[in-house]
Amino acid sequence: MRSIVCVEPGKLESQIKDKPVAASGEVLVKIKSIGICGTDIHAFGGNQPFFSYPRVLGHELSGEIEAVGEGVDLPIGQAVYVIPYISCGKCVACRKGKTNCCSNIEVIGVHRDGGMCEYLAVPASAVVKADGLSFNDMAVVECLAIGAHAVRRAQISQQDTVLVLGAGPIGIGALQFAQEAGAKVLVADVKQEKLDFCRKEYQVDGVVDVTADVEAQLRDLTQGDFPSVIIDCTGNLKAMQSAFTQLAHGGTIVFVSVVKGDVSFTDTEFHKRETTLLGSRNATLEDFEHVVACLKAGTVKSSALITHTTKFSGLVESFTQWVKPESGVIKAVVEMD
């Protein structure tokens, strides 16, 4: 089968490999669409922690069941998306149902080879039937689920004014699910074109230009209340730290993005607000199912998110273009040919 291997940072290579077989408890997925994620781009760039090379990238996957291993009862030809987080089922987090932060987590395309190939064998528990969605929609379910999980963590409701920091694909996911939960949604970014995009495509209630006076803009947009929830999707330490002083009293901060480094805040600012600070990692089956239900109902859309597509045979060439900031990629999807 054809596969694309990241042999070392900055280098993708087409290779022919043996078609895998589904072992006991596994399914063999014939890959149909592959979403390209920040993780893939960081891995290609060589600045993704927990990464070793060579590695087949790709963890945002949809396809059809080609074969099943012993003990698996799923129909051949069934359309599925893949939940790329393989959890142990035994650790303290798994025992509480928090498989998204399993202490032994293995992510497909990160800790083990991923889906930039024609066939991938995965545990049967990692595939979910999703009839009625296109393969491209199914390939972005994981990306959207990250935002959905953050919104669920913060228990966002109609009473909230949510500020999403960072209008990349994860931020756009978060803003859509905050809207779906009935909240008023503001979005902040350093790039004016991204703010324009959020206004046009998602009719957000306000945008905040991070290069100008953020506090003044937030005061104006919230009649002096400030946002009751701030969801950080920036991967920027300064942005994360700014949340502590730009939050409403009684509010909640959710850190979706991860930075290497120490986040610091002034305790008086933290305490006087009775701030709730939450980490949000990956997503659980419940989030994935919520995403699929919202996509089907049309309350969340993938169409604007997917800005670029290519065929698998053109992947190496397209990928090297997409990693350039000037490419304007929000989300790219690769279709198997």
When the beta carbons of 67 and 330 are compared against Zn ion, the nearer one is: 330
CA–CA distances in Å: residue 306 to residues 59, 80, 139:
16, 19, 10
- Residue 57 in the binding site for Zn ion (CB under 5 A): no
- 87 binds Zn ion, rule: CB under 5 A: yes
Sorted by sequence, the CB contacts under 8 Å of residue 100 that are 6+ apart come out as: 85, 87, 149, 281, 282, 283, 284
What phi and psi, each to the nearest 5 degrees, are found at residue 186? -115, 150
94 binds Zn ion (CB under 5 A): yes
The DSSP secondary structure of 57-73, one letter per residue, reads: ---EEEEEEEEE-TT--
| Identity of the residue, 183 or 292, whose beta carbon is nearer to Zn ion in the bound complex | 292
- Using the minimum distance from each CB to Zn ion, give the nearer residue, 4 or 68: 4
**Which x/- pattern over 25-54 shows residues binding Zn ion (rule: CB under 5 A)?**
------------x-----------------
Contact assessment for residue 4 and residue 315, using Cβ atoms and an 8 Å cutoff: yes
Report if residue 237 touches Zn ion, rule: CB under 5 A: no
* Residue 139 engages Zn ion in binding (rule: CB under 5 A): no
Burial of 90: CB neighbours in 10 Å, binned 0-12, 13-18, 19+: exposed
The answer to whether 102 contacts Zn ion (rule: CB under 5 A) is yes
Is position 257 an interface residue for Zn ion (rule: CB under 5 A)? no
Q: For every residue of 192-234, which 3-state class applies, written as one string?
A: HHHHHHHHHHHCCCEEEECCCCHHHHHHHHCCCCCCCEEEECC
Contact (CB, 8 A) for 100 and 281 = yes
Name the segment binding Zn ion (CB under 5 A); options: 95-103, 132-140, 179-187, 311-319.
95-103
Binds Zn ion by CB under 5 A, chosen from 88, 107, 316, 330: 88
Cβ nearer to Zn ion, comparing 3 with 87 = 87
* Residue placing its CB nearer to Zn ion in the complex, 33 or 87: 87
Interacting residue with Zn ion among 1, 41, 67, 91 (CB under 5 A): 91
Give the interface with Zn ion as residue ranges (CB under 5 A).
Answer: 37, 87-88, 91, 94, 102
